[in-house]
């Protein structure tokens, strides 16, 4: 009789190999998690708060093992003819030499095997802008990819000038100023990179001014340079902070309506065809049907921690109790020869769970319009990965209620319904009526 361990091994191997080959009808992205090291101490960052559990020092020993394992894993992908997308996650990739070394290695492998990756995506806090020599090194890497018809995308993880209190540097010798932001904007324009700003409940009352600053710096209400915003789905949203958040939404809508000469149709056309916008979620979520899949990349990626080649659900669920398994090397530590399973059934549950089947979500009226919580945040708050954070539920219900009512007041709701059709209208109206009284009034 086959052993339980062997069943686990075969199950994880089947899932991963089918994914790499595209046999599951889509090719997942590959997420390589490099190291926990970062030069910032962001107030809301999971790695800053829980890094000792997510990436223990006993695992992260030195850059040599990361670089060696990365090369071994890339060779494994080439051998198995993987043709997808690569994401590199770290604390801050350019604050450590291993980040530059891994990117050089990735570029080398992409030259050797042109079909390996469609492109490379890297979130970075852009602290390298403070150092001219380091900026030159980063530009050299970007240009090297461009010269060989490849693409490396450096997402700008910066929340803006008025939110610096949420993203302090660990070193007192580092600080941002006007020169930093001028260089940052110039870099973004040169390579057409966009911002990924996090909207946290701390200092939320300053976000209207922060948004105005972004628009002034970017120009054209973000139409040329994308400003992607996402709420931090950690616990801690209070009635007061949600009220300030609603005021922020109202501020953005008022400014954008003014920009579009109070023409609701032009406003909606921008929501549909323009860049991602935090006020568009009432539209985009219904369009994407978030009751079918979790909104982040967790169900569309294969995440591997490079220091020990462990397979995890995502970079925020690297806790020991969520490790799905690991890639096994030969006796010379030079080649992947097998896959060993650990908590495989839990891993597959996370990978296949319809988002609306999370606890609380199934019976929630706005489940088709809500991005829903982060599974890592759920676990950190409730010690249950499928149990949403109550304050985050309150945030999104309040957001939906406000957007529905304010869009109705401004005539935007009718334009949305005309754009999306009867099915959208029915979902929208029924969700609002079923929601009932919830949320915070705008101050």
CATH number, domain of 250, equals: 3.20.20
Do residues 178 and 262 share a domain?
yes
Q: Which domain holds residue 173?
A: 4-352
Q: How many domains does the chain have?
A: 2
Indicate whether 440 belongs to any domain: no
Do residues 320 and 362 share a domain?
no
Question: What Å distances lie between residue 131 and 40, 128, 136, 395, CA to CA?
Answer: 15, 5, 9, 39
User: Are residues 341 and 324 in contact, defined by beta-carbon separation less than 8 angstroms?
Assistant: yes
User: Are residues 344 and 324 in contact, defined by beta-carbon separation less than 8 angstroms?
Assistant: yes
Do residues 427 and 296 share a domain?
no
Indicate whether 197 belongs to any domain: yes
Do residues 317 and 368 share a domain?
no
Q: What is the chain's length?
A: 443
Indicate whether 345 belongs to any domain: yes
Do residues 320 and 412 share a domain?
no
Indicate whether 442 belongs to any domain: no
pLDDT in tens, the chain (443 residues): 889 899 999 999 999 999 888 666 577 899 999 999 999 999 999 999 998 898 888 887 667 899 999 999 999 999 999 988 999 998 899 999 999 999 999 999 999 999 999 889 999 999 999 999 999 999 999 999 998 888 899 999 999 999 999 999 998 888 888 999 999 999 998 999 989 999 999 999 999 999 999 988 887 555 555 788 889 999 999 999 999 999 999 998 999 899 899 999 988 888 777 665 666 554 554 444 555 778 888 989 999 999 999 999 999 999 999 999 999 999 999 999 999 999 999 999 999 988 878 888 888 888 888 888 999 999 999 999 999 999 999 999 999 999 899 999 999 989 888 887 777 788 888 888 888 855 444 44
pTM above 0.85, yes or no: yes
Cβ-based neighbours of 34, under 8 Å, separated by 6 or more: 66, 70, 88, 89, 90, 93, 98, 99, 102, 306
Rounded Cα gap, residues 55 and 50, in angstroms: 8
User: For residue 89, which phi and psi values (nearest 5 degrees)?
Assistant: -110, 145
Do residues 172 and 152 share a domain?
yes
DSSP 224: S
Rounded Cα gap, residues 360 and 353, in angstroms: 14
Please state whether beta strands 336-341 and 325-329 pair in parallel, antiparallel, or not at all (unpaired).
antiparallel
Residue carrying the six token digits 């401004």 = 410
Do residues 309 and 411 share a domain?
no
Task: From 352, 379, 405, give the residue that closes a domain.
Answer: 352
């Amino acid at each position: 009789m086959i052993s339980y361990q062997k069943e686990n091994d075969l199950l994880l191997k089947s899932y991963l190999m089918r994914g790499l080959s595209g046999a599951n009808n889509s090719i997942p992205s590959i997420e390589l998690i490099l190291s926990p090291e970062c030069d910032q101490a962001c107030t809301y960052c999971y790695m800053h708060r829980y890094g000792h559990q997510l990436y223990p020092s006993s695992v992260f020993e030195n850059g040599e093992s990361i670089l060696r394992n990365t090369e071994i894993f890339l060779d494994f992908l080439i051998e198995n003819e993987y043709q997808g997308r690569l994401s590199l996650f770290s604390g801050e990739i350019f604050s450590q030499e291993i980040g530059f070394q891994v990117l050089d290695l990735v570029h080398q492998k992409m030259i050797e095997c042109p079909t390996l990756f469609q492109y490379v995506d890297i979130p970075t806090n852009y602290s390298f802008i403070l150092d001219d020599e380091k900026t030159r090194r980063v530009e050299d890497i970007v240009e090297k990819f461009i010269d060989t018809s490849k693409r490396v995308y450096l997402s700008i993880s910066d929340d803006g000038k008025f939110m610096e209190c949420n993203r302090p540097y660990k070193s007192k010798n580092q600080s941002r100023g006007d020169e930093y932001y001028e260089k940052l904007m110039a870099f973004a324009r040169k390579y057409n990179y966009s911002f990924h700003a996090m909207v946290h409940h701390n200092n939320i009352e300053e976000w209207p001014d922060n948004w105005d600053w972004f628009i002034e710096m970017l120009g054209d209400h973000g139409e040329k340079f994308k400003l992607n915003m996402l709420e931090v789905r950690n616990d801690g949203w209070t009635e007061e902070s949600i009220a300030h958040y609603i005021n922020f939404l109202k501020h953005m809508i008022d400014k954008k309506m003014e920009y579009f000469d109070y023409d609701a149709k032009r406003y909606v056309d921008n929501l549909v065809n323009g860049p991602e916008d935090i006020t568009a979620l009432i539209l985009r979520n219904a369009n994407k049907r978030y009751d079918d899949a979790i909104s982040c990349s967790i169900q569309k990626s294969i995440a591997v921690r490079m220091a020990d080649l462990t397979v995890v659900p995502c970079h925020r669920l690297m806790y020991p109790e969520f490790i799905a398994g690991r890639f096994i090397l030969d006796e010379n530590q030079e080649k992947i020869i097998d896959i060993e399973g650990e908590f495989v059934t839990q891993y597959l549950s996370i990978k296949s769970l319809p988002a609306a089947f999370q606890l609380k979500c199934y019976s929630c009226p706005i489940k088709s319009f809500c991005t829903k919580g982060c599974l890592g945040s759920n676990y950190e708050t409730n010690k249950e990965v499928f149990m949403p954070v109550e304050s985050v539920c309150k945030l999104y219900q309040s957001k939906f209620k406000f957007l529905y009512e304010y869009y109705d007041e401004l005539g935007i709701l009718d334009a949305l319904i005309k754009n999306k059709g009867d099915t959208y209208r029915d979902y929208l109206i029924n969700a609002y009526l079923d929601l009932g009284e919830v949320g915070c009034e705008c101050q």
